[in-house]
């Protein structure tokens, strides 16, 4: 295979059209180009992922839009969490496919140097990891409830000392957890004794029961560890 370090945007298409035996399958990504020779049945003509060949369709990996304008390299409208998804796909391809060069265009200049748009995208990935850590810490502090639904009984939520996948030395009670400024909630298991979870040095001894972010479930006792979800 001829090694090409930097590809112009149209190069992979010309490679695809002119080198059919054996074809050189190229997947464009916002980071670099990868040779997909070993996946002809997937990326070749008629393959399930042929729409990825010969173009940079980075955004489609997380948007699921595999036609028309959805096959774009523009990730400026993706959220930080979406960008983590892009990074995870890149890690997958780095492991299983051969690196062949960088794509000149939106994210790299003709010398292979990062453009401003790439730096912005990388910063958004960093932001996504920060958001993910905050969410992880939040679910450690206020673990998610167990939940179940049956046609007979409807939805039920409950707490154990392992609910939310967080092993701990307390059980807690279910509460509707509303984050500041949000009208949506998730079920969280909160402490009923000792200091509040977010202030372990506090002299308060009622756990998180007084925290206004936590609302009780209708018709559920304050200290019940299981609650039926009843419409308000």
Predicted TM-score (pTM) of this structure: 0.67
CB 172 within 8 A of CB 226: no
Domain ranges within the chain, ordered by starting residue: 6-135, 142-228
Residues 67-107: pLDDT tens digits?
999 989 899 999 999 999 999 988 888 787 777 777 778 88
Residues 20-71: pLDDT tens digits?
333 333 444 444 455 555 566 777 777 787 777 777 888 999 999 999 999 8
For residues 151 and 153, give the distance between their C-alpha atoms in angstroms, rounded to a whole number.
6
CB 150 within 8 A of CB 158: no
Q: Which CATH superfamily hosts domain 6-135?
A: Cytochrome b5-like heme/steroid binding domain (3.10.120.10)
């Amino acid at each position: 295979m001829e090694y090409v370090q930097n590809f112009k945007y149209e190069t992979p298409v010309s490679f695809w059209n002119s080198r059919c035996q054996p074809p050189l399958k190229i997947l464009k990504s916002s980071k670099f180009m990868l040779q997909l020779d070993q996946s002809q049945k997937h990326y070749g003509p008629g393959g399930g992922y042929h729409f990825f060949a010969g173009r940079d369709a980075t955004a489609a990996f997380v948007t699921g839009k595999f036609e028309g304008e959805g096959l774009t390299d523009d990730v400026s409208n993706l959220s930080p969490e979406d960008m983590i998804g892009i990074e995870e796909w890149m890690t997958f391809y780095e492991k299983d496919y051969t690196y062949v060069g960088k794509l000149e265009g939106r994210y790299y200049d003709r010398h292979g140097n990062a453009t401003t748009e790439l730096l912005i995208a990388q910063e958004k990935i960093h932001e996504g990891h920060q958001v993910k850590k905050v969410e992880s810490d939040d679910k450690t502090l206020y673990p998610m409830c167990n939940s179940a639904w049956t046609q007979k009984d409807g939805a039920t939520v409950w707490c154990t000392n392992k609910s939310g996948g967080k092993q701990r030395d307390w059980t807690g009670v279910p509460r509707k957890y509303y984050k500041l400024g949000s009208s949506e909630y998730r079920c969280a298991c909160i402490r009923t004794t000792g200091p509040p979870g977010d202030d372990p040095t506090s002299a308060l001894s009622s756990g998180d029961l007084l925290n206004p972010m936590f609302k009780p479930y209708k018709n559920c006792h304050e200290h019940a560890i299981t609650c039926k979800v009843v419409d308000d």
